[in-house]
Every structure is written in C-alpha cells, then in structure tokens.
Structure 1
Amino acid sequence: MTQRTLMMNALRRRSPAPNGYRRNAFSDSGSESHYSAKRTTSTRRKRLELRGMKSGSGGTISLDDRDPKRKRLENGSEDFGENRATEMALSYTSSSDRSSENDVASSRDSEARDKSRSGVVKCPAQGSISLIGRRREMEDAVAVELGFLNKDSAGFDFYGVYDGHGGSCVAHACRDRLHRLLVEEMEEETTSLDWEKVMVGCFGKMDEEVNRSGRVLGAEGGSATVGSTAVVAVVGEEEVVVANCGDSRAVMSRGGVVVFISSDHKPDRPDELERIEGAGGRVINWNGNRVLGVLATSRSIGDHYLKPFVIPKPEVKVIKRNSTDEFLILATDGLWDVVSNEFACQVVKRCLEGRMKRKFQAFGNGGKLNKVVKESRAAEAAALLAELAMARGSNDNISVVVVELNHAGKCTV
C-alpha cells in the first residue's frame, strides 16, 4: 500500500460525520446573559436552542464569517468552510456602559429635554442598536449626542454610525471625536452656517487626526490599513443635515414617502470610478468591485495606504424640516445589504404607530432587551431592523439608529 493511500485512509478516519460537527464557540468572559444557537449542515436551517448561561448587563452575537468590506491582506489560519462555529447570542447594554471594551451591542432610548424659543418643551425620541452579527469582531460604532451644540439660540442633536474595516480603532475614534470636531468647526463660523464647508472640514480633520495619532493606530499594530465609513446627521428645529462618507446610509420618511438622503460611495459608481481612475488608481473586481482589488468602498476615514484613491470627503445634504417629517434611519450596510430602503421604512413606521411588536422570542422571552426597548418605539424599531437583517442572512456587523422627527411625547421638566 502506497504512502499516499495510507494518508488518505487516515484522513477519512479522522473526518467527522457530516451531521455531527462541533467546534468551540465564541464566548464572552464578562458577566452577561447569553443565549446560543447551533446550526447543523444536514438540515441547513437555523434551529435555535436556548440556554441561559449567566445573568448580567451584556452579551454577544457572534457568528464566524469573512469581512465583506475589506479583502484579507494576511494569510489567516481560520477555517471558513462548512464546519464552522455558528454561536449566536443577543447582546444589550445601556448607554452608560459604552466605554466598556466588551460592549458589542446596545439599545438606547432617550428623551432630550429641549425648550425652544416659543417655550414649548420638545422630546425627540431615538433608539439605537449595534450587533456583532456573523462576524468574529465588532468593528461598528454608534454615537448619539443629544443637545451637543447650542448656536444662536438653536439646539442641535448629533447621530453617527461608523462602519470600521481592518479593525475597530478608527470607528471608535470617530465615535469619540467627530462630533467634537464638528462643534469646533461650527463655532468658527461667525456668520450663517455653511453646512457643506463645516462637514468637509470636520471629516478632513478627523482623517488627519487618525493619520497622525500613534495612539489610535498603535492600538492595532500601527497599521495604516484601518478605516471606517461614516454617516452622521445633525438634527435641528428647522433642518436635518446629513453627511455621508462611504457606504453606510441615511433615509428619511416624509409623509409616508421614502426620501433618499445619502448615496453610497461604491467604487463602480460612475463618478467615483472616474475620480479613482483620474487619480491613477484602478477598480478591480475581486469578490466584488474594490479599490485596487482591496476596499469595497471608495470613500472612508483612514485607509491611508489607499490615498489618494480613497478620500474622506463627505457628500452633504441639507433638508428643511416640515410637519410631515416622520423619522430618520441611519444604518451600516449590514442592514442595507439585505433590507431595502422602502421595507426598512415600512417596518419602522409600523413600529412607531404601535402596529408591530416584537418580543425577541428567538433570543429568550422576557429578556432584558425587552425591558430596554419597551419604553421606546424608536428603540424597538431599531432592534427589529437589526433582527430582521440577521434573519435575512446579513454577514456583517449591524448598527441602526432610528430618530423620531415628529415625536409628541411629554417630558417632565
């Protein structure tokens, strides 16, 4: 018997039965509620097997998968074949827990007390959620800064969604710093606000700060291959300003009609393709169209190894508010890859009208996430969109912010 035959026989004996595979699944060492789900290749269905493990204030959702945004530059040793772990657990934290490095998901509900010049107290409601999804690492970040600036007797709220790639440090830096840089830019404007100038300057400063900050890049080996998309919204009494850099997205519902506020920056978008090739770069179809065959978005903060082909300049849109404005959705492509703008708005509209309730039964009835979202329909809508994306097979981190623009709730002053 030849050596090749002996080796093949040995491999057959060691191969597991197709229906019986099992691997060590991801677990979080923190104090948390944890529910897991296992999937077998025989049925190719997601059968949920609930089991409580610990009680506490946090958790994870983790399923192994590739980074859809950025082609791997290093030879990984991970097994991405059929026999992969598919551990899934719902996560939730309060906004006060955001500084924890173990936080991978959050659902927030806030009612900001803002007294307008007419003396009427407004209570804009919002909810946000951020899930690790089917990825090994959480690279998204969400920022909600209510009343982050008062200028000329007008108050503004800030919402941001950041989709990191190659690591999470740039997304985290944007979450912590971008709204502060925006305040600096706005305070420098002595006359009427030029929103495009302010936003472009803010994003440019953020990109420069990431580039020169050894603390930020040093957090992940000093690599210049880390970046993040950014879509932010500044909501005032008279206008909504959205700035987008990358393929995260913002949509608004106005009088039952979907308003497309942002346009995704994809390498094959005609104007972006022309810009990239004009700068001497190329768009290569490698598991999708990518800048130099690497990055699936044509604009981002960071990614300095791809300059000048990938730029941090945002596209800015200013929308004057009116009485028919209903809500605003900001989300990463973990949602938009599997849910259309129209359907997302239908889901949110029904949630806000109280016509759609979700008890998150797949992750445990009566869990703490229910308690987080039950007091805010906006938070419930954000959580439902994230769960819908998971059910539709999203392979990316999923972050969603829902802002009610016509919320008429009462505040206690």
Structure 2
Amino acid sequence: TRQIQIDQTPKPQMLQTIRFLCSVVAAFARLVGELRKALMAVKASPAGLISATPLALRRKAAPDHAIQKQQGESKKTKKEAWAARRRPARLVIPVADDAGEVAAGWGAAAAPVKEADVEVAGEGFCVASRAGPRHAMEDAYSVLTHKNDGDSDQLAFYGVFDGHGGRAAVDFVSERLGKNVVSAVLAAGTDKYDEASSAEEHDAVSAAIRAAYLATDSELLVQHQHQGLSGGACGTTALVRNGDLFVAHVGDCRAVLSRDGGAAAALTADHTCAAEGERERIERGGGYVSRSGSGVWRVQGSLAVSRSFGDCGLKRWVVAEPAVTRVPLVAGCEFLVVASDGLWDKVSNQEVVDAVSRSRSRVAACGELVELARRRGSRDDVTVMVIDLERFVRQDPSTKS
C-alpha cells in the first residue's frame, strides 16, 4: 500500500486570514462595549441627550421669567447710575448763629439767612425768602439796629445779598458788611447836622459807606486766597441815619421806594454789562464784554453783573465800589422794598409796590411776592425785604436841607 502523507504545516495565506478574522472580532467586541456604555449614559440622562461640552464649560439655561427679571434689574441699575451722574450731592447748609455785637450798643436783629424757606417779621421790617430749584440757597439778608436809650430809630442798617458760585462769598458779606458800614459811619462823626454842614455830613456818610464796601471786598478776597475759595455776591443795603436814607448797591439786587400813596421810585440801577457806562469802564480796563447765546451780556464771557464782592478772577474789571443814593425821609415816604434779582426779573417795580400796598400785612406781602415770582417762572433764589420808613420820617423837615 502507498502511504499518503499530509502536510499539516499552515500555509502563510491561511495565517493571514485567521489574523484578520481575529482582529475583526476584537474590533466588533470593542464596538459592542462602547455601544453598551452609550446606552447606559442615555438612560441615566434626564433629557436623553449627551452633551459634547465638558461639564466645567456647561451653562445652565435660565427660564424666560428669570431672563426678564435680570434685564429689568439691569435697566434699573443703568437709570439709577445715570441719575446719580446728573444729580449733584445734596448740600446740608447749617443755620448761622446770631451775629455778635458790632460795637458798644449795637447788635444783630437778624442773622444772615441760610434756610431755604424763610418768613420773618421783625421790628420795622419783614422778609421772605425761598430757594430756587436749581441749586442750594445763595441769598442772604442782615439787619442791624441801634440801641441807645430807646432812640433806636435814628440809625439802622438793612441788606439783601445774592451770591453766585457757592455760599462762601454771600455768607461772608452778609456777616461783615453791616458791621463795617456802621463802624465806618460812626467813625466819620456824623452824629449832628446843622444848616451849614449838612452837605458835608451827607458826603461823609456816603464816603464811609463806600469805604466799608471796599474794605469788605478786600477782606473777602484775602479769605478766599487763604482758603482757596471763589465765587462772589451782589448786595443792596439801606442805612437810615438821622432822618436820611442812604441806599448803596453793587450788582443787580434792587431797592424801590414807595412814596406819596404808592408811587414806585427806583433808587438803584442794575450793574450789568448791558449798561453802556459799565461796558465802557470794563473795556477801558482791558477787558471785554460778549453776548451769550441766550442774549445776556457777560464780563470776559463769564459773569453777567459788572460789580460785585469777590470774584477774584475778574476783580480787575468787576469792582466792588458801590453807587450810593441819599433820600431825605420826609412826609410821603412810606416803605422801601429791597430784593434779589429773582424777584425783579419777573415782577416790575410798580407791581411790587402795589402788592405791598394792598396786602393785609407786610410779612404776607413778602411771601406773596416770592410766590408771584415763582408762578411767573423764576428759577432763581428769591428774597424780598420790606422796610417801614414812616417810623424814620423827620418830624420837622425845615431843620435840614
């Protein structure tokens, strides 16, 4: 018999086929394992979805109402921030203490006003004051009366002041000017009049008032220089001396006299750049006057008044030398109205006198005039003072020229 031998050694092609099949099986097994893991993850997920974003970067979606709330809060925050930028911080202005004595026998009947709304009825005068809506109160007033054995009607000082650029200047002037005027007049030795010397006495009183104004301005400038302050103040004052009324002013506060049954007589002329004489004076001094877009003439394009206390940056042109007017207080002189420009910008001289004449009381008239100016659109501070002049009228006018 022939014995047939079979070669059992695997062929190379067969080995390759076996290896290929094994790799396919292994790949399939790995695929099945990944699919099982994926199915388990799907079952565990509440939404049945798999996020491709790493957990650290996932952002939880907010409900619609939460988004609307956040947007509303954001808008509110922006509005509050914008309002804060536009609205200045509220200023708290303390009330001044009563002024000290000026000299022997002198005292302050009313301290400078710092409250926003004031109504005062004093001896022989009354005043009302209200702050404008634009800024803190910058008006003030002061009254000084003589105390001399009951003869208090022979010497008295009244003033209304309007500040700008802050309260520093108006506080200083309302505190110091009356004291300086009274001291200067007393030092001038004008206690008695006679036929021969009355004109000289009148001139001496006027000169003393001018000197007091300039001295007060110099004191204010020194204080501002030391404290690094600025700003200025206008003012109109009335001094009654031995039956004569001396009205002095710088700026645009005004004094109007009621006489002979209610006829208004202006005793001041506003110191503004619109006045030709003031414009020429400023230009002679090397300054200039320009008209703003609103039609207001201004010194160096800045300040509307041409005379004031303070305003150190413009002092070369904006002087503090006052205009002084003397009026003999004779029969027919009824009352004097002194007020800041917040009143005069909206109410005429005659309207003011008429309102005081028909009012039930002088203090009520002051309040009514303040309210009238506000109703007519005044956005400035308004201060109105009414002074009774009949108590100062000369009993025998023939004794004085």
- Sort the Cα spacing of 1:260 and 1:339 in 2 relative to 1 into closer, same or farther, 3 A: same
2:116 aligned with 1:104, yes or no?
yes
2:241 aligned with 1:226, yes or no?
no
Aligned with residue 208 of structure 2, among 171, 186, 198: 198
Q: 2:310 aligns to what?
A: 302
Q: Which AA in structure 2 matches 1:268?
A: A
- Sort the Cα spacing of 1:343 and 1:101 in 2 relative to 1 into closer, same or farther, 3 A: closer
CA–CA separation in structure 2 for the residues paired with 1:207 and 1:149: 30
Q: CA deviation at 1:22?
A: 11
Q: CA deviation at 1:188?
A: 2.0
Q: 1:277 aligns to what?
A: 283
* Number of residue pairs aligned between Structure 1 and Structure 2: 291
Question: Contact 2:343 / 2:369 at 8 angstroms: preserved in 1?
Answer: yes
Q: 2:14 aligns to what?
A: none
- Sort the Cα spacing of 1:23 and 1:404 in 2 relative to 1 into closer, same or farther, 3 A: farther
SS at match of 2:135: coil
Q: Which runs of 4+ in 1 moved over 3 A?
A: 21-25, 92-102
SS at match of 2:173: helix
CA–CA separation in structure 2 for the residues paired with 1:317 and 1:146: 20
2:372 aligned with 1:388, yes or no?
yes
Q: CA deviation at 1:380?
A: 1.3
- Sort the Cα spacing of 1:235 and 1:338 in 2 relative to 1 into closer, same or farther, 3 A: same
CA–CA separation in structure 2 for the residues paired with 1:402 and 1:24: 43
Q: How does 1:260-339 map to 2 (within 5 A)?
A: 260-286=266-292, 287=294, 288-339=296-347
CA–CA separation in structure 2 for the residues paired with 1:157 and 1:310: 28
Q: CA deviation at 1:133?
A: 2.1
Q: Which AA in structure 2 matches 1:259?
A: A
2:145 aligned with 1:146, yes or no?
yes
Question: Contact 2:343 / 2:373 at 8 angstroms: preserved in 1?
Answer: yes
Q: CA deviation at 1:332?
A: 0.4
Question: Contact 1:161 / 1:248 at 8 angstroms: preserved in 2?
Answer: yes
Identity of aligned residues (%): 32
- Sort the Cα spacing of 1:158 and 1:101 in 2 relative to 1 into closer, same or farther, 3 A: closer
Question: Contact 1:148 / 1:158 at 8 angstroms: preserved in 2?
Answer: no
SS at match of 1:106: strand
Q: Whose relative contact order is higher, 1 or 2, with alpha carbons under 8 Å and at least 6 apart? A: 1
SS at match of 2:346: coil
Question: Contact 2:289 / 2:299 at 8 angstroms: preserved in 1?
Answer: yes
SS at match of 2:86: coil
- Residues 193-243 of structure 1: per-residue CA shift (max 9 Å, x gap): 5232111100100000001125x973xxx23x3100010001245111100
Q: CA deviation at 1:258?
A: 1.0
SS at match of 1:199: helix
TM-score by length of 2: 0.65
SS at match of 2:125: strand
CA–CA separation in structure 2 for the residues paired with 1:282 and 1:402: 37
Q: Which AA in structure 2 matches 1:135?
A: R
Q: 2:155 aligns to what?
A: 156
- Sort the Cα spacing of 1:379 and 1:309 in 2 relative to 1 into closer, same or farther, 3 A: same
Q: CA deviation at 1:400?
A: 0.8
- Sort the Cα spacing of 1:329 and 1:164 in 2 relative to 1 into closer, same or farther, 3 A: same
Q: CA deviation at 1:135?
A: 2.5
Q: Which AA in structure 2 matches 1:324?
A: G
Q: CA deviation at 1:268?
A: 1.6
CA–CA separation in structure 2 for the residues paired with 1:301 and 1:149: 31
Q: Which AA in structure 2 matches 1:273?
A: R
Q: 1:181 aligns to what?
A: 180
Q: 2:66 aligns to what?
A: none
SS at match of 1:179: helix
- Sort the Cα spacing of 1:100 and 1:320 in 2 relative to 1 into closer, same or farther, 3 A: closer
Runs of 5+ unmatched residues, structure 1: 1-9, 16-20, 26-75, 81-91, 112-124, 355-376, 409-413
Q: CA deviation at 1:254?
A: 0.5
Q: CA deviation at 1:395?
A: 1.2
- Of 98-107 and 155-164, deviating more is 98-107
- Sort the Cα spacing of 1:324 and 1:176 in 2 relative to 1 into closer, same or farther, 3 A: same
2:375 aligned with 1:406, yes or no?
no
Q: CA deviation at 1:183?
A: 1.8
Superposition CA RMSD, Å: 3.6
- Sort the Cα spacing of 1:315 and 1:346 in 2 relative to 1 into closer, same or farther, 3 A: same
Q: 2:348 aligns to what?
A: 340
Comparing both structures, which one devotes a greater share of its residues to helix?
2
Runs of 5+ unmatched residues, structure 2: 1-70, 89-94, 99-107, 191-200, 393-401
2:248 aligned with 1:249, yes or no?
no
